[in-house]
């Protein structure tokens, strides 16, 4: 599973969020992003959803990687 978080930069930096990301990564989930930039709340920083093209490229790479492992 590939996750593409879109989250406020203040929420992204919270220790609980970072612990959850580490746990999900250890459980085999993959992440793309979050990107750095303007957010809906008018903050600037990490938390913006990655561009669709980047998400698609990451999904394709993940499928290729997982297929090679079989």
- 17 tagged catalytic: no
pLDDT single digits (tens) 29-43? 999 999 999 988 888
Express each pLDDT in 6-62 by its tens digit: 999 999 999 999 999 999 999 999 999 999 999 888 889 999 999 999 999 999 999
- The 3-class secondary structure across 13-63, one letter per residue, is CCHHHHHHHHHHHHCCCEECCCEEEECCCCCEEEEECCCHHHHHHHHHHHH
Q: Which CATH number fits domain 2-68: 3.40.50.1950, 1.10.287.980, 3.40.640.10, 3.20.20.20?
A: 3.40.50.1950
Active-site hit among 10, 11, 41, 44 = 41
Q: How far apart are CA 56 and CA 2, in angstroms?
A: 10
């Amino acid at each position: 599973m590939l996750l593409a978080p879109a989250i406020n930069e203040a929420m992204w930096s919270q220790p609980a969020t970072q612990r959850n990301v580490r746990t999900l990564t250890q459980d085999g989930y993959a992440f793309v992003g979050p990107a750095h930039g303007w957010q809906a709340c008018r903050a600037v920083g990490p938390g913006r959803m990655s561009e669709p093209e980047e998400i698609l490229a990451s999904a394709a790479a993940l499928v290729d990687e997982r297929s090679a492992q079989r």
